[in-house]
Amino acid sequence: MNIFTEGSFYTGEYRNLFLENGMAEEAVRQKLDDTWNELFYGAPDVRIYHPMGDDKGYIVDTGNTDVRTEGMSYGMMMAVQMDKQEEFDRLWKFAKVYMQHTEGRYKDYFAWHCKLDGTRLSPGPAPDGEEFFAMALFFASKRWGDRTEPFNYSEQAKIILRACVHKGEDGEGDPMWDPATKLIKFVPETPFSDPSYHLPHFYELFALQADEQDRAFWKEAAARSRAYLQKACHPETGLSPEYANYDGTPAEPQPHGDFRHFFSDAYRVAANIGLDYEWFRCDPWQAGQSNRIQAFFRDIEVADYRRYTIDGQPFEEPSLHPVGLLATLAMASLAADGPDAGHYVKLFWNTPLRTGGRRYYDNCLYFFSMLALSGNYRIYI
């Protein structure tokens, strides 16, 4: 049972749900270290990190054989949480050199994916990368201190957030947050959002560290995102669509696919809500929401996870990332206070990392869940 009444931001204390569910402290630390070592330096069918030359490195999307801002920023967050500055700096150097635009409509944004040698495959950005880059950089500044460019971490974070809010005010480009609703967009040019991009716990911290003129914006963005998630998550199943309009309703099918349903992107919503509750514990709805989504999947075997309509109707199409979905359901236990919370923590503990071609997304979510459930996904401010 969750006996904490205030979030970690206020108390400096972090729950270790593995200990709460009977795992030994030494075993938890060893499993976390082993997971890091497997993902960054393990066997070829497990690892996702690769050094490049003397000062760079990248996280590979093994299902698509490319490098994405999602994975690069995730890798940086993993590294700063684990106090691994060399890997952090290598990832950041790759992103700076090959992915961040230095001019034009996307200046200070990052090309969302490129080849393993850094050649850009598409110039457009994906906002989930920018928000993770910025948060990881602020944490790095507090853990290790700012150095010379590009390792003046806090200033680099501010540059990114400045562009996210103010891009387009000079007539060129588009901001990543909709100015009217203060909700994050799917991409800067679209009039809809992606519920899994909403990280109110990050925005609360941006409100303390971004440019002074933008701090009120980020505080309001946190509140707006929490309210938005209540609209985007189904009131009975807890499932959310991959893309949703600013009113929370599923977005219309796009030229590149139909994203009205609960599938890969949407898995992250449960994890994000869990971490927001752990850090700030300011939205009681998050406990009930976490109970609902855990209850929906309680009697479904991991191997049988599928695509679902948000009201819970299954498609024949199986989940591409069942281990990733399990990891986020376990991370929801940070907020859940229902009968299934412990079940998911134990099931996750007994589930190994995924191997093979599709492992990248699953194992990124797996590592974040390992950090969070062990009390090691921490705030550095």
Answer whether 297's CB lies under 8 Å from 347's CB: no
DSSP H helices in 42-147: 69-81, 85-94, 127-144
Question: Angle 140-108-172 (CA atoms, 0-180°, nearest 5)?
Answer: 155
In sequence order, which residues have a C-beta less than 8 Å from that of residue 351 and are 6 or more positions away? 302, 323, 326
List the structure tokens of 274: 């869990």
Q: For residue 40, what is the enclosing H or E element?
A: helix 25-41
Under 8 Å between Cβ of 62 and 45 = no
Q: Are 110 and 130 in contact (CB under 8 A)?
A: yes
Nearest in space to 90 (alpha carbons), one of 111, 75, 71: 75
The active-site residue out of 70, 130, 178, 194 is 70
d(CA 352, CA 133): 27
Query: Of the residues 108, 214, 242, 265, which is catalytic?
Result: 265
70 among known catalytic residues: yes
Q: Answer yes or no: 265 catalytic.
A: yes
In the chain, where do the E strands start and end?
49-52, 56-61, 66-68, 113-114, 120-122, 306-308, 314-318
SS3 content of the chain, % helix, strand, coil (to 5): 50, 10, 40
* Catalytic residue ranges: 70, 265
